[in-house]
Structure 1
Amino acid sequence: MVVRTGLGEPRGPWFVSPGPVPDGGWPRGRPSGDGPQRPRGGWPGRTLAAAAAVVALSTASGAVAGGWVAGLDDPVGPPAASAAPVPAELVTAAERTVPGVVSVLVGAGRGRSATGSGFAVDDQQHIITNDHILARGTGGAVTVELPDGRRLPAEVVGREPRSDLAVLRVPPSAGLAPLPLARPGATRVGEPVLAVGSPLGLPGTVTAGIVSALDRQVRLGDNRHTAVQTDASINPGNSGGPLVNARGEVVGVNTAIATIDGNGSIGIGFAIPIEQVQQTADTIIGRGG
């Protein structure tokens, strides 16, 4: 029998589907930390297995079939059709964003550790990230890995667990390029976005998608949030990284994804909207310097 768990298991705080279950309660996902995960067991039922197979097949078969048809009759012939061209503005946005994005490592070497991402927001070298990364690192030392590979100790300026945001600061020698923030209320459904971060410990990873929905009501952990939904691929380690538009402006902080049985991104990710990010970060920086 297939057991329904809302939209699946998050990588980040617990995600709970906003839809009610028959008993009037809320379906819960299961907790899971950021960073590489050990593969889990099989699907809980044949229905999910079949769905996974269909998804995998539909994703891969286009490329396989396309290559096979292109070479059927003419060994030279025209070149095989390539993927749709990437808009030039997204390439430019990626080039501008990556230098300001870092990997965040907490508690490495002692007790439980956690990894995630973060990004610089000003010339004072303040870095925004997710609070749940610090929480899962059990209060250990915080280290930031820069785009050039250097690792520097980071000061925790302040934390706001209810909004799942935290602000770090690294020494001026880091030289991080601050990312511009989008204007409040400017994000639109359907516009292209990039998720930038360190999924599975791979720094500087960029994935593309669109804004799937705005004002999505979700529960993350014990708190209700209004989130930006995106289909840009987000995986463990992306938490705390920026979701940016085609102009390279941050529209949200990647926080959680929905999965089926904990098996990676299924194209449903959630980011804290920039309005909340800016308000919380300004408050934390104002308090902590």
Structure 2
Amino acid sequence: MRDPHPRTGLGEPRGPSFFPGRPRPRTEPPGPPAPAAPPPSHATSHPPSTPQPQPPPPHPTRRPLATAVLAAVLAGGLAGYAAGTLGDEDPAPASAPAARGPGDLQAVAARVLPSVVSVRTDRGQGSGFVFDDRGRILTNAHVVQGSSRVSVELQDGRRLSAEVIGDDPDHDVAVLEPETSRGLRAARLATGARPAVGDPVLAIGSPLGLSGTVTSGIVSALDRSVRLGEGSRGGPRRALQTDASINPGNSGGPLVDDEGRVIGINTAIATLDQDRGGSIGIGFAIPVGDAVESARTIIDGG
């Protein structure tokens, strides 16, 4: 029987990219109009008449709040706005916006992008990232399969020739040594930390040939059993699962946490159509500890 959820490497480029938007600024909705002031009284020579009961002053209706809740449910883009406006009716004055912290994903992307490269071969294209102070680059074995030299393109537009100093098809890891390390900056590696399900992550790379693309998601699961690479001779390996959108061309690029540390190498996706595979929100990354261990073996000539 054909596997209904085949897994595939991320190979030839095709399709669009994704750019995260900026958060909508918070604004406060206008409050209910104040009741009209009563007319001034006038002196009269007639005996006072029996006072008529006056209707109670109008109270603010809750209907606009119910409408806002409904709008938040029907239009998810407004949910943040609605959540900010359904609290106290007399809010405190707005304070200055808080400074961006290390967990801000836009700052994380800006910090990691200079370490990410596009990898081009005669067969196609993938991604990679600088992982040590000598400027060496980690990528997937299936990206450089059959190549002894490749071209790498940096975020500043420079192109360098790089030697494939070795690969490990069983773990789908390869190491590249560029012609120069000038201007190359190593990414931080989370080799001593273990991610948790629900942690926010960014996938960075060149999906579909579009370099410098950043997508966001979470760690969906740990220790998934996945067969890695196209030339693997071993059995299934453990992998991180993420819903961050990854597509052909993301292979070899980093999956990073909200502190900008690499936790994995994006390497495969689950797809409903193996011939026209694309992201369906189930992607897999090699844990960075496993990848670095394999890379050290390659470098040492083991």
Matches within 5 A, 1:81-96: 81=77, 89-96=104-111
Query: Where do residues 100-249 of structure 1 align in structure 2 (5 Å cutoff)?
Result: 100-107=115-122, 113-135=123-145, 138-139=146-147, 141-172=149-180, 174-220=182-228, 221=230, 222=232, 223-249=235-261
Aligned partner letter, 2:280? I
SS for the counterpart of 1:229 is strand
Deviation string, structure 1 residues 234-286 (Cα, Å, up to 9, x no partner): 00000000000000000000000011113410000000011201211122223
AA matched with 1:10: T
Hey, what does 1:282 align to over in structure 2?
A: 296
**Equivalence for 1:272:** 286
Question: Normalized per residue, which structure has more helix?
Answer: 1
Q: Counterpart of 2:208 in 1: which secondary structure?
A: helix
TM-score, scaled relative to structure 1: 0.69
Runs of 4+ in 1 over 4 A off after TM superposition: 80-88
Mean CA deviation greater in 255-264 or 166-175: 166-175
Q: Note if contact 1:234-1:257 (Cα within 8 Å) is conserved in structure 2.
A: yes
Residue 228 of structure 1 aligns to a residue whose secondary structure is strand
Identical counterparts, % of pairs: 52
Structure 2 stretches lacking a partner, 5+ long? 16-75, 82-99
Contact 2:14 2:209 in 1 (8 A): no
Aligned partners of 2:143 and 2:77: how far apart in 1? Answer: 42
Q: Structure 1 unaligned runs (5+)?
A: 13-33, 39-79, 108-112
Q: In the TM superposition, what is the alpha-carbon distance from 1:198 to its structure 2 partner? A: 0.2
Residue in structure 2 matched with residue 55 of structure 1 by the alignment: none
2:42 aligned partner: none
Pair 278,83 (structure 1): closer, same or farther in 2 beyond 3 Å: farther
Distance 2:210 2:78 in 1: 26
TM-score (norm 2): 0.66
Q: Secondary structure at the match of 2:188?
A: coil
The 3 A distance-change label for structure 1 pair 226 and 81 is: closer
Aligned length: 219
Rounded to whole Å, the distance in 2 between the matches of 1:10 and 1:106 is: 19
Kept after mapping to 2: 8 A contact 1:127/1:168: yes
Counterpart in 1 of 2:114?
Answer: 99
- In 2, the alpha carbon distance for the partners of 1:96 and 1:84 equals 27
- Deviation at 1:287? 2.8
